[in-house]
Structure 1
Amino acid sequence: MKSIVFTFSFVVLFTQLAMAQQSNEEQNLIKLSLDKWQWMADKDVEKLSQLFDEKSKFVHMSGTWKKGEELDIIKTGRIWYKKVTVKDTAVELFGNTAIVWNRITLDAVVREQVAVNEFTVTEVYQKNGQDWKLLALTFSSVRDTHQIKH
């Protein structure tokens, strides 16, 4: 009986430890994603430039472009990501690749017009050494009742 209790306790402890490590990496990605939204709102292209991979792509309602154009759009304010309200987040890890889904309300200024939209944003990251690099960011227009399945 003692060996069963010991074995069960060991399995529970090991499982919790494994989940805590995974959760830690997931939490790091969630924080990085939230930081990214703040950097976009602040037009901090220096930090964004370090985060965005050289080959990164960005899909918006009005087009698809690469890193340089996205940074220019942010810097010049052609799109000002004024405020992002994150309603839900999900993370999936695949080795050194991660996908982060954010369910957001975006308050933006686009070509001098205020725009408030509901999106699910898909962010693809790849770990490069100790750092995560953003490879792709895609805005999908959704209804405000849309939910991310965890």
Structure 2
Amino acid sequence: MKTLFLGLSLIIMSVQLSFAQTSEVEQEIINLSKQKWQWMSDKDVDNLASLFDDKSKFVHMSGTWGKERELEIIKTGSIWYRKATVHDVAVEVSGETAIIWSRITLASNVRGNDVEVEFTVTEVFQKQGTGWKLLALTFSSVRDTHVLEH
């Protein structure tokens, strides 16, 4: 009986620990995404260059391009991501891959014009070594009533 109790206790503790780890990873991704928005606002291309995978892709309303072009756009201010107000997020982690969906209002300056647009942004991260790399970022234009299901 003691062996059974000990075995069940270990199983329960390991299940709780695995949920705690998933929750910690999800929070890490949420924090990383928020930090990315700040770096984009600050035009901090050095930190962004470290975060973006060399093969990363960025899908905007006007086109799709890779890391170097995205960094150039940010550095020159062709698109200045002034402020991303995050309204809601949903995160899913599968192995070494994390996907975060964020419903945001993005205040930006695009080629000299101030705009404010509602988006759902999909970001795909992959654990590489001890850190995370952004593989993809996609802007989807949505209504302000758009809801993320968790």
TM (normalized to structure 1)?
Answer: 0.92
Aligned partner of 1:68 in structure 2 is: 68
The alpha-carbon deviation at position 5 of structure 1 amounts to 8.3
Cα deviation code 1:82-109 (max 9, x no counterpart): 0000011111111111111111000000
Note the alpha carbon deviations across 1:21-78, whole angstroms, 9 max, x for none: 1100111111000000000000000000000000100000111111000000000000
Aligned to 2:47: 47
Q: Distance in 2 between matches of 1:53 and 1:11?
A: 37
Question: How far apart are 1:15 and its partner, in Å?
Answer: 3.2
Please report how far the alpha carbon of residue 17 of structure 1 lies from its aligned counterpart in structure 2 after TM superposition. 2.1
- Give the corresponding residue for 2:100: 100
Q: Distance in 2 between matches of 1:16 and 1:148?
A: 26
Matched with 2:122 is 122
Which amino acid is 1:120 matched to? Answer: T
Q: How does 1:16-95 map to 2 (within 5 A)?
A: 16-95=16-95
Kindly state the Cα deviation for residue 18 of structure 1 after the two structures are TM-superposed.
1.8
Query: How far off is 1:149 after superposition?
Result: 1.0
Identity of matched residues, %: 61
Greater Cα shift, 45-54 or 5-14: 5-14
TM-score by length of 2: 0.92
Give the length in aligned residue pairs. 150
Which residues of structure 2 form unaligned runs of 5+?
none
2:147 matched residue in structure 1: 147
Q: Tell me the distance in 2 between the aligned counterparts of 1:45 and 1:143.
A: 30
Letter in structure 1 aligned against 2:90: A
CA separation in 2, counterparts of 1:68 and 1:2?
Answer: 61
Displacement, 1:7? Answer: 7.4
Deviation at 1:80, TM superposition (A): 0.4
Residues 1:95 and 1:113: Cα distance change in structure 2 (over 3 Å) = same
- Structure 2: which amino acid aligns with 1:86? V
- Which stretch shows the higher mean deviation, 6-15 or 112-121? 6-15
For residue 34 of structure 2, give the secondary structure of its aligned residue in structure 1. Answer: helix
